[in-house]
Structure 1
Amino acid sequence: MQNSAPLIVQGDRTLLLDVHAPLADECRCALIPFAELERSPEHLHTYRLSPLSLWNAAGAGFTPDYAVDVLKKYSRFDIPQSVSTWIYETAARFGKIRLVPDSVQGAAKPAEDSLILQTDSLAVFRELEANKKLAKYLTPVGENLRFRLSLTDRGTIKEELLKTGWPVKDEVPLKEGEFLDIHMREKTLSGKDFIVRRYQKEAAEAFLGDCGPGTGFGTLVLPCGSGKTIIGILLMAKLRTNTLIVTANISSVHQWIDEIIDKTDLSAEKIGEYSGEKKEIRPVTAATYQVLTRRPEKDGPYPHFKLFRERNWGLIIYDEVHLLPAPVFRVTAELQAVRRAGLTATLVREDGCEGLVFSLVGPKRYDVPWKELETSGWIADAECIEFRVDLDKGKELEYAVASVRQKHRIAGENPLKVPLVLDLVKRFPDDRILIIGQYLNQLFEIAGLLNIPIITGKTPIRERDMIYNDFRQGKLRVLAVSKVANFAIDLPDASMAIQISGTFGSRQEEAQRLGRILRPKNRTARFITLITADTQEEEYGSNRQQFLAEQGYSYRLVRRIEEIPDCDNTNESSEKLNGAETARGTV
């Protein structure tokens, strides 16, 4: 027993890290390769050992001995024998099946349109041979425990085998993309010093392997406001190759292009926009998921998928990778030879498809707790408040007899929320406020009463960009936005978000909406959610808050506006901000 050790290893393979223990930081770094961070509240962080986490570690060069030694070194109590045994047995499955180039006997070089899946175990070979789902991809090759498969099925077969409990050790080399001469600037175009933050460098190194094992493919998980775009640009500058960037919406495409021009020496002529408005394919091209998945006929082909093959890409960046739609998953499965980087604030998906991100884009290579960046001043201090509102008496009978879906809408559109929003805007005149909601009629009513602009999915791109720009420049103090603003929108001076309704119990949406106000600033950011009391909204609200609670944020419940004090701009907050000020341009 080591009383001062930071780690508690439990029989269910969860790991509890006491962040106040002397070796906590050292232990956290040692856990990253083989354990998944699940929750990071203020005092105890929870990690979990899973088959996927161990296979990811094995793929990056870490042995089961390393994992067991780390647990022994930092564990406060003896490790349960069942845990160490499980680690060795699970990790042993990695490498039993290997994917290699198809070297045809007598040929000068491997076949370009096929690969070989091989194993040294007859039992494993027979198991795969008997699997009817795999039969359409795999063709047995003689009696030497090998299968041949099409090059385009490389990702699909890895995905299908992972579902059966067999990870594939992919030994087929990544191809080199076309060279692109690109370098990071030391000063932005406005003349400000440009400094890449320590954790941004660490994330790039974890992906590339500059400091330890790296593969050139994988997912980087960092909070909103931490500058994930800068990490993507840093990868581009290190790899110096043609790059395709796929992101959530047209505003995000424009932000990527602006940041690349501002932070690198790449000229605008070498950066293309591939969207509903333009179809430019250049050495660096930014596209939207929407245009890539658009097709003329419901059951027809996806004509814009040709973009993936139009150039010799050396890197594909999937921004907000947790949004990756199913059709793009399919083409991503075909592009396993290309370096692939996924960027996201959270891999939570309500449909449970996180595994697809891991198997097709790549495993998690870097993760940092939200609260750690808040403490360092890289993202804003945030206070989460749940405001309980009574249901309008005129809606009580309608709510009582409504279906489940109708109940959600009635509670979300509760008329008593409208005057409350007006009072909040009036009470906090120094805040830059985003009013976010699910239902457009409700948003238009509030926007009309406050005489403010509103952005929805139907707002023209040019008008949308102008409104966002006015908000950034301080010409607008309050802005109403629908769910189109959930993702990849940079509004650095927003200090308060008022969430009037949401998408059922989506934890992902909750995290993204909080992210709209996390850019560093000299005041505490506030995330206020209006919940109709004693309705279905309370249950959904609890689920939505789950992710934020796991990141260390606590919700305060209030019933009256007077219970929300004026914003406290403490000296401590200012000191943290001053320490981060030199890098604000990197967000």
Structure 2
Amino acid sequence: MSYRPDLPMIVQSDRTILLETQHPQFAEARQAISGFCELLKSPEYIHTYRMTPLSLWNAAASGMQPHEVTDILGAYSKYSVPPTIVKEIDETMRKYGLIRLERRGDDLVLHSDDPLVLTELAGYKSIAALLEDGYVLKSYARGLIKQELIRLGLPVQDLAGYSQGESCPVSLRANSAVGKPFALRPYQQEAVDAFYRGGSALGGSGVLVLPCGAGKTVIGIGAISQLQTATLILTTNTTSVRQWIAELLDKTDLDPELVGEYTGDHKEVKPITVATYQILTYRPTSLDEFPHMKLFSERDWGLIIYDEVHLLPAPVFRVTSGIQATRRLGLTATLVREDGREEDVFTLIGPKKYEVPWKAMEDAGWIAEARCREIRLPFEPKWREAYAHATARQKFRIAAENPKKLDVVKKLLERHEGDRVLIIGQYVDQLEQMATALQLPLITGKVPEKERETLYQQFKKGEITRLIVSKVANFAVDLPDANVAIQISGTFGSRQEEAQRLGRILRPKTENNTAHFYTLVTRDTREQEFSLHRQLFLVEQGYPYEIIENEMLV
């Protein structure tokens, strides 16, 4: 086996990759492998990545060939890539498209260039139950067969096409409603094109992965104008619903009468309808049906957009399984799901069709340059004693609510006196105490939607420059001028939450295009352990975390 010590990487036979962070080619190698593997661990000197079947299938779906993956590995590896890994990569990636779902007349049929594969599949009772004569699918089985087959390690390439849906002419404005020049940025147009694929069966379903602040809403609007069809948009909360509607009316020629809000406040079903996941998953009791799921069949939708698709609730997955003839677009900053259901996103919404690395967007100036710092604080003796006697879950909360965090927040507010600062936390009691101590406005789930809107608008206008928010502001809240985030507590080891919170401050700035992200962590506690896991996704994207001990903070 040849040895090239000047290269930064080791590829191991268990599909893991070790990458030296201090190597001059670290950033280049990390960028090269990001399309087909995921980060597992990120200590100071060696990062560990892993190639999974799903990461390789996503690479295959985006057009990457097995030899391209092995060529990249060979270009950066100190040792020759193990032959077993070369073979596994080839076999895994070739499974995507080995079975295709095609339309023949009115029927949907499973097809493969290897007939023995289909013969073998027919021997599985779960597969046979979804088939009629030969390999013709039962009418309801398009989503179910894909779920069954991916569990067997056979991701289906769905080429059966889509229904046109109800016509809804939409044109993008050359100038927005408020008079600003408007056009899709080059990467936004590339993302729309990657999803649409010229209207062929190769397009029409899939996920676009772009950083917060990259304009995923605009990409969604671009897809609507490309398809010219009635569209159902699903998003995380009422604030986000209204932001989508505002953007639609600002950047297209749509008549406001054609755009509807479907939330707890309003139940409008229009050619373009924007709804929340919460309203769809509402039911009076756990024994009842979901009354608002009928929205999926209220019109002949030609497109469904799943905003923040990594948060898609399980009941919506079930409905999505039954509407596979409708085009589906997922938008997200991260494919990471805390419930491990990435395979369902791949199968029911579609594979990853386009991705732009965060650092590439930063280098191009489309999002702000981010500086991430973790500040580690000590415990007072009495809190340390309480921590020592607590359960594992209690330990995390005790560490998260360390009273010393208030003093650090005060120092940071002084340091960023002229900036627009978000203080973000998990525990409402902690946030309320901090709001009282600092005399700052607070937004939590308790605050009525109208009051939230007022505070967001005041922050946007610069009438207030500090705002304390709970996790209700994690997703799809547009505060473009926020340039400092201070995270005082979070949801255990949630990587997606870390990404979303950084995303709150990544909108490009007109003057100093720099954002500051601080995480306050109690030293040598469960909170510090979880913090390492939370940071994985951002480290994978190229954001190093500077560790600052509280005693060194000036």
Shared fold per TM-score greater than 0.5: yes
Distance 1:39 1:536 in 2: 19
2:460 and 2:479 in contact (8 A); partners too: yes
Structure 1 residues 259 and 364, CA gap change in structure 2 (3 angstroms): same
Identify which of 155, 163, 176 aligns with 1:167.
Answer: 155
| Aligned mates of 2:89, 2:403 — CA distance in 1 | 55
Give a deviation string over 1:541-584, Cα, whole Å, max 9, x none: 111112111111112222347636xxxxxxxxxxxxxxxxxxxx
Deviation at 1:127, TM superposition (A): 3.8
Using the TM superposition, give the Cα deviation of residue 419 of structure 1 relative to its aligned residue in structure 2, in angstroms.
2.8
Task: Please tell me whether the aligned partners of residues 219 and 365 of structure 1 are also in contact (alpha carbons under 8 angstroms).
Answer: yes
Q: Structure 2 CA distance, aligned partners of 1:393 and 1:40?
A: 32
Q: Which moved more, 1:61-70 or 1:461-470?
A: 61-70
What is the letter of the counterpart of residue 334 of structure 1?
G
User: 1:65 and 1:401, CA in 2 relative to 1: closer, same or farther beyond 3 A?
Assistant: closer
Unpaired stretches in structure 1, ≥5 consecutive residues: 104-108, 565-587
**Which amino acid in the other structure matches residue 106 of structure 2?**
P
* Counterpart AA for 1:110: D
TM superposition shift of 1:44: 11
Question: Match of 2:307?
Answer: 319
Q: Which residue of 2 aligns with 1:514?
A: 502
Alignment of 1:33-112 (within 5 A): 35-36=36-37, 50-52=52-54, 55-56=57-58, 80-101=82-103, 110=106
1:499 is aligned to: 487
C-alpha deviation, 1:407, in angstroms: 0.6
Secondary structure of 1:395's aligned partner: helix
Q: How does 1:232-311 map to 2 (within 5 A)?
A: 232-311=220-299
**What secondary structure does 1:209 align onto?**
helix
* Percent identity of equivalent pairs: 50
Deviation at 1:367, TM superposition (A): 1.0
User: Is the 8 Å Cα contact of residues 61 and 353 (structure 2) preserved in structure 1?
Assistant: no
The one-letter code matched in structure 2 to 1:247 is T
Shift, 1:369, TM fit: 1.2
Flag the 1:44–1:552 CA change in 2: closer, same or farther, 3 A: farther
Contact 1:386 1:558 in 2 (8 A): yes
**What is the Cα-based RMSD across aligned positions, in Å?**
3.5
Deviation at 1:453, TM superposition (A): 1.7
Q: Does 1:361 align with 2:349?
A: yes
1:444 to 2:444 alignment:
no
Q: C-alpha offsets along residues 120-177 of structure 1, whole Å, 9 cap, x if unaligned?
A: 7675445434434445x42453xxxx24443332112201211111222323221111
Q: Which residue of the partner structure matches residue 531 of structure 2?
A: 541
- In structure 2, list runs of 5 or more residues that go unmatched: none
Residue 199 of structure 1 corresponds to which residue in structure 2?
A: 187
Against the structure 1 CA distance between its residues 17 and 158, is the aligned structure 2 distance closer, same or farther, given a 3 Å change threshold?
farther
Seen in structure 2, the aligned counterparts of structure 1 residues 389 and 54 have a Cα distance that, compared at 3 Å, is closer
Check if 1:527 corresponds to 2:517.
yes
1:382 corresponds in structure 2 to: 370
Residue 87 of structure 1 and its aligned partner are, at CA, apart by 4.2
Aligned to 1:156: 144
Change (3 A) 1:85 1:160: same
Tell whether the 8 Å contact from 1:206 to 1:213 is kept in structure 2 after alignment.
no
Change (3 A) 1:502 1:83: same
The structural deviation recorded for 1:182 is 0.8
**Separation of aligned partners in 2, 1:44 and 1:562:** 26
Give me the whole-angstrom Cα distance separating, in 1, the residues matched to 2:81 and 2:200: 27
Counterpart mapping for 1:374-453 below 5 A: 374-453=362-441
State the shift of 1:358 in Å.
0.9
- CA distance in structure 1 between the partners assigned to 2:31 and 2:168 by the alignment: 36
Q: Which amino acid counterpart does residue 35 of structure 1 have in structure 2?
A: F
Give yes or no for contact 2:39–2:537 (8 Å, CA) kept in 1: no
- Normalising by structure 2, we get a TM-score of 0.88
Q: Quote how far apart the aligned CAs of 1:93 are.
A: 3.5
Label 1:92 to 1:420 Cα distance change in 2 as closer, same or farther (>3 A): closer
Alpha-carbon distance change, 457 to 88 in structure 1, aligned in 2, over 3 angstroms:
same
Contact 2:38 2:55 in 1 (8 A): no
AA paired with 2:528? E
Residue number in structure 1 paired with 2:335: 347
- 1:362 aligned partner, one-letter code: G
User: Residue in 2 aligned with 1:218?
Assistant: 206
Q: Which moved more, 1:237-246 or 1:123-132?
A: 123-132
Letter of the structure 2 residue corresponding to residue 548 of structure 1: L
Say if 1:536 and 1:51 are closer, same or farther in 2 by CA, change over 3 A.
closer
Q: How many residues align?
A: 545
How far apart, in 2, do the equivalents of 1:242 and 1:17 lie? 49
Question: Quick one: which amino acid aligns to residue 541 of structure 1?
Answer: S
In structure 2, the residue matched to 1:190 is: 178
Q: Does the residue aligned with 1:151 lie in a helix, a strand or coil?
A: coil
Kept after mapping to 2: 8 A contact 1:40/1:551:
no
CA distance in 2, matches of 1:530, 1:338: 45
Q: Check 1:8–1:174 CA distance in 2 against 1; reply closer, same or farther (3 A cut).
A: farther
DSSP 3-state at the match of 1:183 = coil
With over 3 angstroms needed to count, the CA separation of the structure-2 counterparts of 1:407 and 1:40, relative to structure 1, is closer
* 3-state SS, counterpart of residue 234 of structure 2: strand
Deviation at 1:475, TM superposition (A): 0.8
Tell me, yes or no, if the aligned pair for 1:248 and 1:290 is still in contact at 8 Å: yes
State the secondary structure of the residue aligned to 1:167: coil
Tell me the SS of whatever aligns to 2:141: helix
Cα deviation, residue 282, structure 1: 0.6
Structure 1 position 506, deviation (Å): 0.8
